[in-house]
Every structure is written in C-alpha cells, then in structure tokens.
Structure 1
C-alpha cells in the first residue's frame, strides 16, 4: 500500500489526524534574496550593497498555499467539526511545518485558514502561511569528542549561520576565526563564534575533557 502524502503542521498530521488529503498543486515560494543596489552617476553598472551591513545575504519570507480535501460523503457533521478543529489548531498560530517531499527538515511561520468549499461531494479547505526562508534540520547537529591537550574539531554547517552550545565536564579554551573564548564547566552557548557555510575548524584545548557540541543547521 502506498504511503499517503501529508503535511505535518505543529503536532498535527493532515491525513493521520484529520483524514484530509493534499490537493495537487500546493505551492511554496523560493527564498528570494533581499538585494540593495545604488546607482553611481558616471560609473558603469550599480554598486551592490546587498551584504554591506552584515557581510551576508538576507532573504524574504516564503509564502505557502495549499488545499486540504475531505470526502464530505463520509459525513457532513464530521466535516463541520473538522473545519472548527483545524481553524482552532492552526489559524493565526506560529507553527512548524514538515512537507511530504522534504524529509528531515521543517519550515516555520504563521498560518491562516482561508475559504471553505463544500458545494460538491469533495470538501476543500484552503490554508496558507508566511514562513521563514530557512529549511531547518528536524534534529539539531550534535558532535561528541574527547580532548586531551589541543585538538582541531571540524564542524560542518549548511547555508545559515549558526551559534554553537558546548557542554563540557572541565574548563576549556576554544579558538575560532581569530577569537579565543574560555568555556566553563557545564553548558554554554558561545555568542562569540558564528559558524559559516562549510567546514568550521575549532581549536579546543582541555585536559581529559568530554564535550558535546550542539548547533542548528538550516538550508534554503
């Protein structure tokens, strides 16, 4: 039996929990970069200031639209109840959504419930959302290591910049990107380091240290 495709919105599965099928043709906009160009009189082209402020490119929100389908012949009273259930669950709420074609990632943003149409035997309910541009990994990235002396620890990161949290049983010294930070025993979010896309090499110094590094990866 083929698996039924569904959205997971917050803690709700559109088919498993609501018996709703996904209408073909649901849409998700691409992440459009926020660009800034300035005309310079007497010069060719334009001056690109897109990443001048932060050193990185920012992106607009994504618009998501879909229709859920419910066989109204199944039960009109069940449909009336379902409309209220879905509206109370997601309308105006800021929630995560997992798409059926993108496993291991979620997007997040604010949802709206639109038009209901029960004029035929197949009832439809329109939903939409304004989502952040990023596809976040469902699970944070976790790396465990032992340190005796100084060790280079490579961290692979996707497109979005990320902060790291280090949990350690002994005090450490961590160097990255020309910065050095003293990390105490326990769990500490390191605000001085920002992981970039690709490989980020941390130089960690400690004695008999057992560490856990955690960070949230995201891509476009």
Structure 2
C-alpha cells in the first residue's frame, strides 16, 4: 500500500484535497509525574503510579502534518477555506496511512501558506488524546484489508455462549481499559482473585480494569455475553 497521507474522519488529504504529505511529527505524551520532596533525605518520593498502578499522561501536544500542493492564488484560497471549514478548531479522528490499524482523536487547526507562485504549503496541527486507539472494536465487523498480521490483534468478543463456565482471553495493550459487558441474563465474571455480579443488560464495572498483557475473564452462569473492548497504544 502506498502511504500518501492521512484520513480525517471522512476526508483523505490526498484523495479529497490533492495534498502530498512531506513530513509528520507525532510527539509522545508527557507523563504526569508526581514527586514529593522528603526533607533530610536524598531524592524524592515518586508517587506517579501510586493511585492506579499505571503512568498517567497529558494530552499528546504538538502533532503536526505538513503537506504541499500546486495551484495559483485562487486555488489556494478555495482549498484553504474548504479544509478550514472542515477541521479548523474541530475534534476529529485521524488515521495515518502508514499506521492503518489505529486512530488518533484530537482537536485540529490549519495553517496554510502560499510559498511560491505555484506551490502551497498546508500544515495541520493538533492536540490529541495520549493514546492511539484500535480502529476495529471487539464487536464490529473486521476489515481485513487494513489488518496488520504482525502487530494486529483479532478481537471477536460478541455473542459468546456461556453454559456453566466460559474463559475469555483478552490481550491487553498499553492503555488500561474498563470493558463494557452486555449479558443476556444474570451471571458472574471473575478476573484475577475478584468476582463480580452481572445484571441482564449493560455492565460497566469500574473495579474491573484490563491492563497490558493477557487478561482472562471467567464467566459463570447461562446465557450470552458480549465484551466491548478497544485497545490503546502509545
């Protein structure tokens, strides 16, 4: 696949606007560190991971995509207005052609410059969520054309039959996620050493957080369950 640009919700920078991407900058999010000075002792007490056990992050600031295109002044004005009306100041979903299995979410801005008589420079910047998210969720249909067989994870957690007991293995990515479990009947789910009661309907248990690595959910009862989970990565 030729990596030519980015998709912003329903618009593609190359296919819809004729832009050629010449560079991109995707900084890592800044960790929210928490150090407490201890008088009379060396160093500081690091409480960064004390509450959740995970590192919290700020938004991913300074994301920048730079493009060029050809055209005269009238073309530049028209294109700048079209792109600005679509994204400037708005929260959008961004998928990069070279990383099609994930999307970023953030508020975008446009900086458009006329660099010469025939060349234009378009810069799309933004502040994104700390994590990028898997394009395919665990309940939707799979789009195999965009699936990365080296790094992708096949997630099919919809309409699982529980007859007595069912173990479901969920490979977790870097982001800690609270899954949403829909059950057709009352039953229970165990994770680690803890067990939780499920009602018939939608369940979001805030003490049940799936972390990085292999997560095993054990359902006990009779009925059908669906697990809504979307992984997040740095």
Would the TM-score normalized by the shorter structure come out above 0.5?
yes
Cα distance, 1:4–1:47 mapped onto 2, change above 3 Å: closer
- Choose the corresponding residue for 2:224, options 193, 210, 213: 210
- 1:70 equivalent in structure 2: 69
- 2:44 equivalent in structure 1: 46
Cα deviation for residue 4 of structure 1 reads 5.1
- 1:60 equivalent in structure 2: 58
Query: Unpaired runs of 5+ in structure 2?
Result: 139-155
Matched-pair contact (CA < 8 Å) for 2:137–2:228: yes
- What is the rounded CA distance, in whole Å, between the counterparts of 2:107 and 2:43 in structure 1? 38
How many residues are paired up?
215
- What is the rounded CA distance, in whole Å, between the counterparts of 2:213 and 2:30 in structure 1? 21
Query: Unpaired runs of 5+ in structure 1?
Result: none
Matched-pair contact (CA < 8 Å) for 2:25–2:63: yes
**Alpha-carbon displacement from aligned partner over 1:113-161 (angstroms, at most 9, x marks no partner):** 1242243321112221011110100111341432211233222111111
Matched-pair contact (CA < 8 Å) for 1:179–1:192: no
Q: Secondary structure at the match of 1:174?
A: strand
Cα distance, 1:191–1:119 mapped onto 2, change above 3 Å: same
- What is the rounded CA distance, in whole Å, between the counterparts of 2:233 and 2:8 in structure 1? 19
- What is the rounded CA distance, in whole Å, between the counterparts of 1:151 and 1:65 in structure 2? 45
- 2:134 equivalent in structure 1: 137
- What is the rounded CA distance, in whole Å, between the counterparts of 2:188 and 2:225 in structure 1? 12
- Choose the corresponding residue for 1:105, options 94, 102, 106: 102
- Choose the corresponding residue for 2:197, options 182, 186, 199: 182
Worse-superposed segment, 162-171 or 99-108: 162-171
